[in-house]
Each structure stands twice: as C-alpha cells, then as structure tokens.
Amino acid sequence: MRQLMALLTALIMTAGGLMAKGGGLISAEEALKLHGKSDVVFVMGDSLENFKEGHIPGSQHMESHGLQCTDFVGRMECPPLYMCVDEAEEFVGERGIGNDTLVIAYDDYRGPNATGIYHFFLIYGHSNVKILNGGLEAWKAAGGEVATGEPRKPAAKRFSANVDKRTIATKADMLEASNHITDLIDRTGSREGAEFALIDTRSMEEAIAGRKVDNVARGGHVPGATLMEWIQISGQDEMLSYPSDPEVLRERLERAGITPDKTIYTYCHVGAGRGSYYYVLLHELLGYPNVKVYTGGWNEWGNDMNLPIRR
C-alpha cells in the first residue's frame, strides 16, 4: 500500500508539474508585446500612493488588500467571496475589463499584491489573467515606460461573474483541518500522516501575537498551522515575483510537511496577498492539486471568539 501511495503521489506531481509549469506567469518581454492592445488591461495591486509614484501606462488600480470587503470587526459581507457578486461585477467592469479581456496583474516586484488580483479574478470565473513576474521593476528593466499620477477612467465594460469556489477555503474548512492536525499531534506527537496542511504565510511577529494588525481583536495563529512566511520562498534575490526555478523550493516545502498528497489551505491577514502568493506557487507553478486560499484570513479568524488560537 505504501508503495502504491508513493507511486500515485509521484504521478500527481509529474502530471501537475507538466500542466502547471510556468502557468499564471508572464515575462516583462512578453508583456511589452501586449501593451496597448484593446483586449489587454494591466492592473496594479499595490497601494494608490505607490501607483501614483509609478505604474505601467494605461494601468488600472485594484489594491490587493482592499479587495476583501469586511466590516470593522472582520465580518465578510458575502463569505467566502472577496466581494458580493454584484459588487464584483461593477468593480471589474468600471475598470474597462470584460469577460474577454486579458488581465495582467503586477505590483512593485515582490508578488503578493499581484497574486491577490490573480486570485480575485479566478474566484469570479475569469481565468484569462496573468502575473507579470518581477512586476514594475522587470517592466522597467525590459525598457518599458512608466507613468505617474491617478489611474485613467476607461469606458466601462460589462463583466459577468461566474463564481468558482474551488480555490476558496472557508472558516469551516479551516476549523476541520485545524482539529484534524491538532488531534493527530495530541495522539501521536507528530503531524506525520495528516491529510491537511495549513500554511500561515505571515511574519513570525504576527503569528506569535507580537503584533496585532488593523482591527483584529486577537493575535496569534490557527492551531496546527505551519508557520512559513512567504518571503522564505520568494524570488526577491532575483528581483522576481517567483524564483526563476521554483522547483528548487519543492524540497524545502516537503521538509516542512507541505506535500502534494495533502489538502492545503493557505492564509494571511486577508487572503488576497501573502495567502494567494502561496496558492500560485503551489498550484500553478509546482502542480500541487489540492490548494485553497482561506479568504477570510486572520481578519476573520482572529475576530471570531468561538475559534481557537495559538500564540
């Protein structure tokens, strides 16, 4: 049985890698060739202040951390979606994006804010979206021009959402996985053999409650989560959103128990950003088959007093 499971895992990894290798990313050189086309819209996910200081000409702005609509105590309006469907359709359409538009998401170069845009569009059924690997810095290095100031207001287009929840983990999913992992550890002293893996992608200071963010009542992390800050697996040394060879990360992930046979839920403060960064790495680049983003993030979990936490 062990040999059969090992063979199945190897087949999953191979097939997934063949299908997903490089999926979701576009180089600056490729993006330059598409710039200015009527059916292509570049979208920056950094703050509006950063956008005004420098962006790809003609870009639209969608601040990644502002995509999730929550009230001041972390309750989402339409969980587990980032926005209610009608609101998302209007939000996207008024940026000149229709169902036939290719969206190229980018940020400064680090990646999380671009992946927030990417994951947002996947949820609403728009798979025609790419991440500019290396963001604005790669664009400039490739000879692309840079504009400053406010985003232009384009002619609105009709965008019809077709909600796809396959990449979303709910609060209930997270609690089930957390209980499964902690029960296994209590019984055996190890998480080996767990069916789930939870990845807390935030900084150690956030995860151990050394720093609380925004209006979250409690600091800490989800019990049973693996603390693995996104920066540990980033491409920052190459000034890329993701390493030029993401395969070099596979061994590091597997040593931490992040293996393709598990159902994996990633989370950060709001889901769109560091949580979505891991989704793209694991699912799109390394071919892990069962990866979801907990869109509520710590913003939702830390404000629900009925949920357990660890510090």
What is the average pLDDT across 39-60? 98
CATH architecture of the domain with range 167-301: 3-Layer(aba) Sandwich (3.40)
Of the candidate CATH numbers 3.90.1150.10, 3.40.250.10, 3.50.50.60, 1.25.40.10, the domain formed by 23-163 belongs to 3.40.250.10
3-state SS class at 273:
coil
pLDDT for residue 1 is more than 60: no
Calculate the average pLDDT of the chain: 91
Lowest-pLDDT range, 12-16, 89-93, 175-179? 12-16
* Residue 113 banded pLDDT, cuts 50, 70, 90: very high
pLDDT in tens, 191-209: 999 999 999 999 999 999 8
Position with higher pLDDT, 73 vs 89: 89
Rg for the chain, CA atoms, rounded: 19
pLDDT for residue 9 is more than 80: no
Q: Is 142 exposed, middle or buried (0-12, 13-18, 19+ CB in 10 A)?
A: middle
pLDDT in tens, 218-272: 999 999 999 999 999 999 999 999 999 999 999 999 999 999 999 999 999 999 9
pLDDT for residue 20 is more than 70: no
pLDDT in tens, 146-166: 999 999 999 999 999 999 999
Q: Where in the chain is the domain with CATH 3.40.250.10?
A: 23-163, 167-301
In this prediction the pTM is 0.91
pLDDT for residue 87 is more than 50: yes
Q: How much of the chain exceeds pLDDT 90, in percent? A: 86
Cα–Cα distances in angstroms (integers) from residue 236 to residues 15, 112, 174, 240, 294, in the given order: 28, 12, 29, 6, 24
Which residue has 């680090």 as its token pair?
A: 110
User: Is the bond leading into 79 cis (omega within 30 degrees of zero)?
Assistant: no
3-state SS class at 225:
coil
Q: Report the distance separating Cα 295 and Cα 84, nearest Å.
A: 13
* Residue 22 banded pLDDT, cuts 50, 70, 90: low
